[in-house]
Chain A
Amino acid sequence: MKIKTLEEILKKKSSKTEFAILTNLENGDSEIYLPGTSPKGEFSKYADEIENFFKSKKNGVIENSEIFVETYIKPIKVIIVGAVHIAQYLVDFAKSLNFEISIIDPRGYFASEQRFPDIKVINKWPKEAFEEIETNSSTALIALTHDPKIDDPALQYALKNKFYYIGALGSKKTHENRCQRLAEAGFTNDEINSIHGPIGIKLGGKSAPEIALSIIAQLVSETYKK
């Protein structure tokens, strides 16, 4: 691989562009492929196979060839509502797991850059904050404030936009009340039951990093179920 190709790969990764690296295993030539374009030179006769690899987000050697395809997909977007202590540990885990985190909190003393360096922190109420984030059914929401004023509008937004994972912190009682409010707001039982509440898998721990671990474990597990 040429240094120039490596630099181009890193540039594409940091701009969150989806692409594939094509390598000719015989002579070591490699090239970056962007979906929807035609592969250049020696790779051009495998255009259909390359496109198929890209669509199925697969890595591998094209059959009966010496061409290796490696696809790079965008990291999963995870929106955390509540710039609280648990969120700081979630950010740590997300770094190694390559989730892309944004944090929403209208409370300025929580949503400070000093508490969350290098993370997109939106110091606004959820309704306005969601105008700044592009979301789709591959987005996850983790609601941590257990304050209905802040969590509820975010949960409603996530349900309406069919996020693949929605979790909300709070005791069983807090969650029952939350479900009640969502029902009154017109959400169906199926929608309400899709929320993971109380959030996280059962680990038994009660400290902030332990709760963060239980949440991130549930998030990873749900990512592979969908």
Chain B
Amino acid sequence: MKNSFDEKILDEAQDWINANQKVVLATVIQTWGSSPRQVGSRMIVNEKGDFSGSVSGGCVESAVVSECLSLIKDNKPCKKIEFKVSNESAWEVGLACGGEIAVYIEQIH
């Protein structure tokens, strides 16, 4: 069996939008090897760089925040980002678990 264990990130996204903030939703869409968060895990980021939720165990969140900020700045709708151990920037931010994840970021508009 499976519980939904919904983390209510989307509820929070709605609150942020109601407070007139720009919100980017980040979702784990694929994982390979040992990754800390499962597919469907979510995080939201606003234009100030505040964030809630998670897409890893703290390994790539800072990189995701800066990608989300660029998305807002360039006014793009969405982007797919892959974090691999071989990926230098991911290594810098420390995906120490050895896994790989793909994160999809999209503006809520």
* Chain A residues in the interface with B (C-beta under 8 A): 1-3, 6-7, 9-10, 13, 23, 25, 27-28, 30, 57, 59-61, 68, 70, 72-76, 97-99, 138, 164, 220, 223-224, 226
Q: Which of B78, B106, B109 has the most CB of A within 10 A?
A: B78
Residue of B2, B4, B77, B104 near A68 (CB, 8 A) is: B104
Complex-state Cα separation, A199 to B6, whole angstroms: 26
Task: Decide if B3 is an interface residue (CB 8 Å cutoff).
Answer: yes
CA distance A174 to B25 in the complex (A): 51
Total contacting residues, chain B, CB less than 8 A: 26
CB pair A28–B3 under 8 Å, yes or no, is no
Q: Which of B3, B38, B80, B107 is in CB contact (< 8 Å) with A25?
A: B80
Q: Which residues of B contact A97 (CB under 8 A)?
A: 3, 5
Shortest A166–chain B CB gap in Å is 15
The 6 closest A-B pairs by CB, nearest first: A28-B78, A59-B40, A28-B77, A59-B39, A226-B1, A98-B6
Write the nearest CB–CB distance from B94 to chain A, whole angstroms. 25
Q: Per-residue CB proximity of B6-39 to A under 8 Å, as 1/0?
A: 1000110110010000000101011000000011
Enumerate chain A residues within 8 angstroms of B106, measured Cβ to Cβ: 1, 23, 28, 30
Please measure, in the bound complex, the distance between the C-alpha atom of A57 and the C-alpha atom of B4, giving whole angstroms: 10
With beta carbons under 8 angstroms apart, the residue of B10, B77, B104 that contacts A10 is B10
